[in-house]
Amino acid sequence: MSRDLDIEHSIVQTLRDGKTSEHLKRVQLENQIVPHNFKVPMPRPQTCKLQGCMAQFEIILVPRQIIYPKYCPDHRNDHQREVFLSRLDHDLIT
């Protein structure tokens, strides 16, 4: 079993047990949990969860996978999010 499937399995088990864990909290910092029961890959439109960004992007819901990106491709890493938020703050101040 690959490491990704181990992480996925661990998250599913934690959710089923109704618990929260540090691992789950860490995963949810940059990802979203999307439970589904699709048997074939299914596209789903999303809005970036970064404050001030209304960009639309698409995720593909894959069978037996529940962890998906929370942010649009422009804001997938910490640096990109920090730059965007600092520009947003600067625009609000001026």
Q: Which long-range contacts (CB under 8 A, 24 or more apart) does 43-52 make?
A: 46/72, 48/72, 48/74, 48/75, 50/75, 50/81, 50/84, 50/85, 51/85, 51/88, 52/84, 52/85, 52/88
Domain count, the chain: 1
* pLDDT tens readout for residues 10-31: 888 888 888 888 888 888 999 9
Taking all residues of the chain, what is their mean pLDDT, rounded to a whole number? 89
Q: Is the predicted pLDDT of residue 57 greater than 90, yes or no?
A: yes
* pLDDT tens readout for residues 34-47: 999 999 999 999 99
CA nearest 55: which of 70, 72, 43? 72
Q: What is the pTM of this model?
A: 0.81
pLDDT band for 2, please (50, 70, 90 cuts): low
Which residue segment(s) compose the domain that 41 sits in? 3-93
